[in-house]
Amino acid sequence: MKTILKTISILFLALISSCEPVENNGLYPAGKGFFILNEGNYLAGNGSLSFYSTETKQIYNDLFSLANERALGDIPSFMAVEGGKGFIVVNNSGTVEAVDIHSLESLGTVTGLISPRQIVTSGGKGYISSLMSPQVTILDLENMLVSGNMDISSASEAMVIYGGRLFSAHWSGGNSVSVTDLATGEAITSITVGLEPESMVLDKNGKLWVLCTGGWMGEEIPRIVRINPGTLEKEKEFLFRTVDDNPSSLTSNVAGDTIYYLDEGVRRMPVTAESLPSVPFIPAGNRLFYRLMVCPGGIIAVTDAIDYQQKGDLMVYNSRGELLDTEQAGIIPGFMLYMKD
């Protein structure tokens, strides 16, 4: 059965760094690494924030609560960074938490959002998708205030901005990607893809790849669809084997010439490929692979949710698929955000 806890993926954002040491209150080391959002137990409000340093090869847990002496909330699902601030979407709490990216101290909380899922930023604004509302919420990032809404006529999950347009995937029960003009807020079109488009990524050629799970109950065969965001037309469709396949967490490498996703492990394929890979690049074995991220240098990070109840694991692999490190994260380690120079 397919998990309802799926979220997209897969984006690469920047850590502000310089030749001087970065002040971060000693909670986690300055330098290269990535944040991990641990979703916590449903309705328990015990979601948390971790950081894995690719330099020290260690994980640093419970960072938000250590910095702010309170819990992050119920199911943190996504994080973006802009202007030295981190914006953490906390789904079931209906909030977006702004933090100083170095100290992780709270800079403000937007409350009252309807099942927020992900956030993308552009021009000082944040655009927040919703699992239960046909509107995308517009956030003034400087003042942490809701400045408006855009009606996209469907609930939404993964989002991508390209060419002044917002592409929003209608995940839960949907089969389309809505396209909205950011300058006017007006809907342009809706592109039919496959049932429950879960994650999206842009490649080096500016093509939009959309992973569709096929539905919670396996209603149709999952697929990956490639869209030309200029013409707004589907260019290619890659079908999985059966309705029992369970792909998720589509992302790409930094160069944008190879896409990765989870399906019985980690699979990868060049963007020039004519078919899906037949075997996993990194087999899952007895692990429950949940979220995936690819870092510069080919480092691959995967989380293991174990049983969706207890603290999960983080596995770090090199570009050859060899395991480099395993660390214990928080409860249900999910979305990861790489921080680069």
pLDDT tens for 41-84 read 999 999 999 999 999 999 999 999 999 999 999 999 999 999 89
Q: Given this model, what pLDDT does residue 173 score? A: 87
Q: Rounded CA gap, 69 and 73, in Å?
A: 12
For residue 300, which phi and psi values (nearest 5 degrees)?
A: -115, 125
Task: List the domain boundaries for the chain.
Answer: 13-340
Rounded to two decimals, the pTM is 0.91
Task: Please tell me the distance from the alpha carbon of residue 308 to that of residue 40, in angstroms, as a whole number.
Answer: 8
Q: β-strand 125-130 against 135-140: which pairing, if any?
A: antiparallel
Q: Which two tokens stand for residue 128?
A: 């927040």
The pLDDT tens digits of the residues spanning 204-243 come to: 999 999 999 999 888 999 999 999 999 999 999 999 999 9
Distance (Å) of CA 120 to CA 65, 100, 132, 266, 288: 24, 18, 18, 25, 28
Q: Determine contact, residues 221/240, Cβ cutoff 8 Å.
A: yes
Position 339 confidence tier, pLDDT thresholds 50, 70, 90? confident
| CB-side neighbour CA atoms (13 Å) of 233 | 2
- Our measurement of the distance from residue 213's CA atom to the centroid of its chain's CA atoms, rounded to an integer in Å, reads 16
Q: List Cα–Cα distances, 322 to 100, 171, 293, 301, in angstroms.
A: 34, 33, 15, 11
Class of domain 13-340: mainly beta
Contact criterion met (CB below 8 Å) for 169 and 210: yes
From the list 82, 68, 113, the residue with the least C-alpha distance to 13 is 82
Nearest of 300, 304, 306, 334 to residue 37 by alpha carbon: 334
